Structure formats: C-alpha cells, structure tokens
Structure 1
C-alpha cells in the first residue's frame, strides 16, 4: 500500500510537471504565433511596397519611351523644316536676300537675356526691360 501511494504520488508529480510543461509550451506557441503575425505583416508591407515601386518604374519607363519618341519626332520635324528652308533659299533669290538681312534692334534685343537664378530674377529683368516699339511706327535710330 505504501508502494502504491509512492507510485501514485510520483504519477501525480509527473502529471503536474507535464501540465506545467504543456502550459509553458502553450505560452511559447502563443508568443511565436504573435511573432509570426508581426513578421507576416512586415513581409506583406514589403511586398506591397515592392509592387508599388515596380509599377512606378514601369510608368517611368513608359513615360521615358514616350518622351524619346516625341524627341525623335521633333528632331525629324526640325530636320524637314531646315531642309525645306534650305530648298526655298536655294531656289528663290528674293528670299535669300531677305534671309541674309540683319534683324532690327528690337528683335535682336528679344534674343539677348542674361542667365537667371530664379523666376523672380527673370520677372524683375522682364519688368525692367525696354518696351518694344509699336510695329506700325518706324524704329528709332
């Protein structure tokens, strides 16, 4: 009977130890589940950011392609325009004489401007500039 009591007490201690161990494992499992949820949220956030950046990169690549095509088309138009002007100049003496004459001083001043550091500098320069002469009146000399 004594042996039975000792065995029963040993079994009760073993069961209590196993219950304690199971509770500890349960706490560890809950903690690992929380960590796993946090990591999963971080990975999802990272994946969303990567997808957004890839989409933006694709948009920028398409915009760059459109700009390059636009630039190529503009270059072709400028080249065609220059060839047309040269053709007209070569075949028309009156036009060639007009093309070789100097621009009026007012028109030359339109092409002259200093370098500007800001938009405010440009506006200040623009308001201080001399007004253009009336097109209906002869230019002053």
Structure 2
C-alpha cells in the first residue's frame, strides 16, 4: 500500500509539474500574443491617422478645385462679355473695324514669335540671347 501511495504521489507530482510547465508555456504564448496585439493596434492607429489625414487633404483639394472652377467660370463670363462688347464696338465703328482687320507690323509679329520651352531657364536664356529690337531711324 505504501508503494501504491508512493507511486500515486509520484504520479501526482509529475502531473503537477507537467501542468505547471504547460501553464508557463501558455503564459508565454499569451504574453507574446498580447505584444503582437499591441503592435497591431498601434499599426491600425497609425493607419487610421494617415487615412484621416488623406481624407482631409482630399477635402481641401476638392474645395480648392471648386474655387478654381468658380474662378474659371467667372473668367469665362468676363471674357464672353468682353468679346460681345468688342463685337458691338466693331459693328458700330467702321474706323475701328478697319483698324482691327489690318495686320500687325513685322516687328510686332517677330516679338510674338518664340520657340517652345521645356524649362523656365530655357526661356530666360532665349530672352538674353535674342536679338535687340531695331533702333528707330
């Protein structure tokens, strides 16, 4: 009977040690999973902040685009009014109509001619290298 109790006690101690070992492993796993969960939450928080920032930027750009569209519509309206007024003046005044239809002098046409530029520096270089206007005689 002593052997049986001793065997039972040894078995219980073995089971207790095994359960303690398993408990330690589960605690380590739990700690590791909690750490990973914290990292994931931090990542999500960062992502949410970035998404909110992008949404704000989109809203700002949409407002800016709307303001530009309104300004463009206003400018188009003014241009149309100017064109109508110019046409009215041309229809009313023969001298103005004749002057409007004459061509520009060659020197003025030459002033308006320029090559296409890829960069602002190209335009500045072209300006500095271009020929001077002819002196009046």
Provide the TM-score with structure 1 as the length reference.
Answer: 0.84
SS in 2 for 1:13: helix
Q: 1: CA distance between counterparts of 2:129 and 2:11? A: 104
SS in 2 for 1:10: helix
Q: Deviations over 1:17-39 (max 9, x none)?
A: 11111111101101111111111
1:101 shift after superposition: 2.7
1:55 shift after superposition: 1.6
Give the equivalent residue in structure 2 for 1:86.
Answer: 87
Q: Deviations over 1:54-99 (max 9, x none)?
A: 2222222222211111111111111110000000111112222222
SS in 2 for 1:22: helix
Q: Which has the higher contact order (CA 8 A, sep 6+)?
A: 1
Q: What is the RMSD of the two structures over their aligned residues, measured on CA atoms?
A: 1.9
Number of residues paired by the alignment?
136
Give the equivalent residue in structure 1 for 2:44.
Answer: 43
1:21 and 2:31 equivalent? no
SS in 1 for 2:88: helix
Provide the TM-score with structure 2 as the length reference.
Answer: 0.86
**Structure 2 unmatched runs, 5+:** none
1:128 shift after superposition: 2.2
SS in 2 for 1:98: helix
1:103 shift after superposition: 2.3
1:42 shift after superposition: 1.6
SS in 2 for 1:84: helix
1:52 and 2:53 equivalent? yes
Give the equivalent residue in structure 2 for 1:120.
Answer: 121
